Structure 1
Amino acid sequence: MRTLLRAGLAGALACGVLVTAIGVGRDGDGGGRAPAPPTGPYVALGDSYTAGPRIPDQSGSPAGCERSGRNYPSLVAAELKIKASDFRDVSCTGATIADLSAPQSTDDGTNPAQFDALSGATRLVTLGIGGNDIGFASVIRRCVTSGVLYEVTGGRDGDGDAPCTELYTSGGRDEIRKKIEAAGGRLARALDEARRRAPKARVHVVGYPAILPSDGGDCGRELGLAPGDLAFVRSKERELNTMLRRRAEAAGARYVDTYGASEGHDACSAEGTRWIEPLVPRSPAASVHPNERGERGMADAVLHALGARP
């Protein structure tokens, strides 16, 4: 996801949206047993939820992609004992689905098309993408701004307790849902291309972890959302993950659910247990992005999907 809200309110969520890992290749061997996890070559594709901006240690080129050596691809590669020469992490903060097949400009260098890292030798692919395609960072920014106004006016702004929801759904439309549907078509084509370039790879699409609490609890102090908008933004993330799952399954790939395991570890949960940092991070990580604990949780989900964990 694109990190747009820097320094407090300006250090935003680039959602992107971590996409969940999918397996493009067949997981079965005809005998009902899952094959042993691949030991490489492994290629990690994705946006900032994959890259791990501001989590130490930052490494890789270009520097503008803000990849961490402790992001979930690196942790997966280490757990599977994949040789450094057989591991390529080409994820990049701000990436959209289009950046899988075209170069991406960053504030510090250009990232080549991520699909260029795939080849007939590739045996494992993880893909976390989609949040930037629906402008999730912009959604968070607008909803936080609406929440601040709601708080200042004491809720007397004419939109009840969900001013941001009204912005995106007035007149019977659902602007974000339309963007999710459009992104789904692009993802389907991208998965076909991944299969073409890496026909022997097990491809996993990695979904996004829970950003907001599922119990409807208050999140105002950490994210400043109006009460009704909290439910709206949460529902949009779930819709995004549902699209990722359906497109993965339709492509014969595997979806990795990171949302379930991360519930209770959202940006509004206790500092010592959260996987996602709030607007003002208290751990080394980008605003409204996974911290090191979150990347470890996502790695565990991928390893479980690969059969490397019980």
Structure 2
Amino acid sequence: MTTRGSMTRRPRIGRTLATWGAALALVATAACSAGDGEGDAADAAPEPPASYVALGDSFTAAPFVPNLVEADGCYRSTANYPALVATELGVADFTDVSCSAADTTHMASPQRTATGGRAPAQFEALTEETELVTLGIGGNDFNVFGTLVEECPAVRPRAPRGAPCRTQLNRRSGDGDPLLSSLERTERRVQRVVEQIRERSPQARVLVVNYPHIVPAEGTCAALPLARGDYAYAREVATRLDAALRSVVEATDAELVDLWAASEGHDICSDDPWVNGRQTDFSAALEYHPFAAGQRAAADLVLEVLRGED
């Protein structure tokens, strides 16, 4: 099993997802069928694809989930969900080109990474023989998620009980909400990415991995320091992004790995979060990025989709 990138010493990383990457991605493990002989067959791993390519941003790369691979500044975990899936399936030809801070433009064009490295266009990993592609992308386009986790906490002191981030963004735009309006363009971009994957790898199953819940359904917490009214705003933006990705799946006949639904109750403020809060833990996860438990759950859900389970 081969991957790109080599081990290096731990770099200093102090910026949030606006610098490194992406919108979110995590899931809950679904129960497998049980029974006598039939249950054993249902639980068996699906036939491994001959070739698997993982494309995506930092919620696929999972920076600082042990163990870290620097990979030209992409900061990719050897235990992210693509690696776990490839190991469990026994894929011989596995390539993970996910990269922190990637957006849809980096599928077809090289990416300059935070360390000054140059990551090749992710599409370069695709071939006509590729049989499985997972794609987790869209949250970094137009800096949507970066705005929510950098700019929004920064303006909280102006009106802790209000929605100063929504107010500031709308005032700056002067023409509607810039984050919400950008999601229509993100949808078109992601749809084009899926179409280009099919052009390059016509035999491949294409699984679109959406993003998990990061904002609680109600309440607030110190790990996600938004003004009280901006929690509702952040939830609205995340919900609209999820709707955009679902529309892409429907329009392209791709398959959905529904991390959004499965991660409900595992947001940053929950008792069992699958995404880290504002403090980077160099032994566990970058700030506002997935923990190992979330990557394990994401892998399980990908495997469930491959098995054809509901």
Quickly name the TM-score band, shorter chain normalised.
Answer: 0.7 to 0.9
Q: How does 1:161-176 map to 2 (within 5 A)?
A: 161-170=162-171, 173-176=176-179
Query: 5+ residue gaps in structure 2?
Result: 1-12, 28-44
Secondary structure of 1:208's aligned partner: coil
Match of 1:275?
Answer: 274
Q: CA deviation at 1:18?
A: 4.4
Deviations 1:152-197 (A, max 9, x none): xxx5xxxxx1111212335561211221111111112211110010
Q: Distance in 2 between matches of 1:299 and 1:165?
A: 35
Deviations 1:123-155 (A, max 9, x none): 00000001110311123211101223334xxx5
Secondary structure of 2:233's aligned partner: helix
Is the aligned partner of 1:39 residue 2:70?
no
The AA in structure 2 aligned to 1:11 is T
Match of 1:72?
Answer: 81
Q: CA deviation at 1:40?
A: 2.9
Q: Distance in 1 between matches of 2:154 and 2:86?
A: 40
Q: Mean alpha-carbon deviation: is it higher for 221-230 or for 300-309?
A: 300-309
Is the aligned partner of 1:218 residue 2:228?
no
Q: What TM-score, normalized to structure 1?
A: 0.82
Secondary structure of 2:256's aligned partner: strand
Contact 1:91 1:114 in 2 (8 A): yes
Contact 1:104 1:110 in 2 (8 A): yes
Match of 2:207?
Answer: 204
Q: How does 1:292-303 map to 2 (within 5 A)?
A: 292-303=292-303
Q: Distance in 1 between matches of 2:251 and 2:99?
A: 26
Contact 1:122 1:201 in 2 (8 A): yes
Query: 5+ residue gaps in structure 1?
Result: 1-5, 22-34, 156-160
Change (3 A) 1:183 1:226: same
Match of 2:146?
Answer: 137
Change (3 A) 1:12 1:196: closer
Contact 1:276 1:289 in 2 (8 A): yes
Q: Distance in 2 between matches of 1:71 and 1:309?
A: 22
Secondary structure of 1:306's aligned partner: helix
Contact 1:76 1:303 in 2 (8 A): yes
The AA in structure 2 aligned to 1:49 is F
Q: How does 1:67-146 map to 2 (within 5 A)?
A: 67-83=76-92, 86-106=93-113, 107-135=115-143, 136-146=145-155
Aligned CA RMSD, in angstroms, stands at 2.4
Match of 1:26?
Answer: none
Match of 1:186?
Answer: 189
Q: CA deviation at 1:67?
A: 0.5
Secondary structure of 1:290's aligned partner: coil
Q: Percent identity?
A: 41
Match of 1:28?
Answer: none
Is the aligned partner of 1:177 residue 2:180?
yes
Q: CA deviation at 1:199?
A: 0.1
Change (3 A) 1:145 1:20: closer
Match of 1:29?
Answer: none
Secondary structure of 1:188's aligned partner: helix
Q: Distance in 2 between matches of 1:44 and 1:175?
A: 30
Q: CA deviation at 1:92?
A: 0.4
Instruction: State how many pairs are aligned.
Output: 276
Q: CA deviation at 1:210?
A: 0.8
Match of 2:306?
Answer: 306
Q: Distance in 2 between matches of 1:20 and 1:246?
A: 19
Deviations 1:24-74 (A, max 9, x none): xxxxxxxxxxx9554230000000000011111112632x00010010101
Match of 2:248?
Answer: 247
Q: What TM-score, normalized to structure 2?
A: 0.82
Q: Distance in 1 between matches of 2:139 and 2:288?
A: 12
Secondary structure of 1:222's aligned partner: coil
Q: CA deviation at 1:117?
A: 0.6
